Amino acid sequence: MKTIRLSIIGFGAVGQGVARSILSKQGYINKQGINLCVVGIADSGGCEIDDKGIDLMGAITRKKQTGTVATCAESAFDLISNVEHEIIVEATPTNIKDGEPGLNNMLTALNSGKNVVTSNKGPLALRFSDLKEMAEDNGLFFRYESTVGGAVPIFNLVHEAMAGNTVIGIEGILNGTCNYILTRMAEERLPYELVLKEAQELGIAETDPTYDVEGIDSACKLVIIANSIFQDAVTYRDVDITGITKITPEALELASKNNYVVKLICEAGNGTLTVAPRLVPKRHPLAVGGTLNVASILTDLAGRITISGKGAGSIETASSILSDVLHIARNS
């Protein structure tokens, strides 16, 4: 049995989802000859560190009861730098201004010989090529399946499952909140403000929804796609962005009468990066409803491959993180 030690940096919904997934899939993982051992967890309150392996259920319970996982005052930096392990799972919240604290966590990990798996879009939308280069220079894995599309494995699909294909273009719906709002507005003929409020009550939209509805989240994801799949050294600032806040129920109704739906579509591939509302024929593979995410990938050999699934949720995001962790465990 190969033991792979990891730390979880950031212990909110995603970090806890990773802990729960490792617990629930222990038998499955062991069957593959792999023993995943979490030796450290960090949140903003401090750390828990145990080189024999942390009691994950205990950590989740303590977090719930006390608001922090911390049992010692060491920082995430200390954990990443000084505790021996192979992989950090960086799951702190996305910050699109300067990428912190995720960016520093990732740089520290790559500098101290640790592989990085992350769900944090901020550092990748700002410094993708630096991070990739540093990982390559140090012979380390840098994997980020869960940053785009939630449970939908877009990068694994393109880089591994469809190896041999050159991607010509990608279009997708990469923000479940916008998709939910546009779907409900069209189906119920309700104005934007009302549906946004409903989405906030259901926990589908944040109290400050700017990041989603102005297309910023979609743009970050598109930047990661452009860097990862098209090797374009672009950042968030290179995306032409239009959000969904100005769409009216009347526009959606007119579209519907002509057999179209309106979707916030991300497009990459022709040298430009665009996030904007687009008319999509109702029977088009991109016309998925609710909170679903979808990516339609045009390739030279396989033609067009379309994949859809849940774009958010702690267990769904953890699913993509776990696939990255297992990829590293199998190949290192």
Tell me whether residue 15 is annotated as binding.
yes
Q: Flag whether 13 is marked binding.
A: yes
Residue 179 binds to a second copy (criterion: CB under 8 A):
no
Query: Given CA atoms 90, 91, 95, 100 in this order, what sign does their dihedral have?
Result: negative
197 included as an active-site residue: no
Within residues 18-57, the interface with a second copy by CB under 8 A covers 21, 24-25, 28-29
Q: Is residue 169 within the footprint of a second copy (CB under 8 A)?
A: no
Q: Cα(128)–Cα(159) distance, rounded to whole angstroms?
A: 17
Q: Out of 6, 151, 170, 225, name the contact with a second copy by CB under 8 A.
A: 151
- Judged by CB under 8 A, which stretch of 37-45, 81-89, 135-143, 149-157 contacts a second copy? 149-157
Active-site pick, 221, 246, 263, 310: 221
Which of 49, 152, 196, 247 binds a second copy (CB under 8 A)? It is: 152
Q: Which stretch binds a second copy (CB under 8 A): 88-96, 122-130, 192-200, 314-322?
A: 314-322
Residue 221: exposure state from Cβ atoms within 10 A (0-12, 13-18, ≥19):
buried
Q: Are 169 and 268 in contact (CB under 8 A)?
A: yes
Give the residue, chosen from 113, 188, 304, 332, that forms a contact with a second copy under the rule CB under 8 A: 304
69-108 mask for a second copy (x: CB under 8 A)?
Answer: ----------------------------------------
Q: Which residues contact 114 (CB under 8 A, 6 or more apart)?
A: 80, 85, 86, 87, 88, 140
Indicate the burial class of 131 (C-beta count within 10 angstroms; 0-12, 13-18, 19 or more).
Answer: buried
Torsion on CA atoms 309, 314, 315, 316, rounded to nearest 10: 20
**Which pair of structure tokens corresponds to residue 221?**
């994801």
The answer to whether 153 contacts a second copy (rule: CB under 8 A) is yes
The two most distant CA atoms of the chain are separated, in Å, by 62
| 106, two tokens | 């990732």
Which of 96, 162, 251, 276 is the binder for a second copy (CB under 8 A)?
Answer: 162
Size of the site for a second copy (CB under 8 A): 46
Active site residues: 221
Per the annotation, binding residues for L-homoserine are 206
Per the annotation, binding residues for NADPH are 121
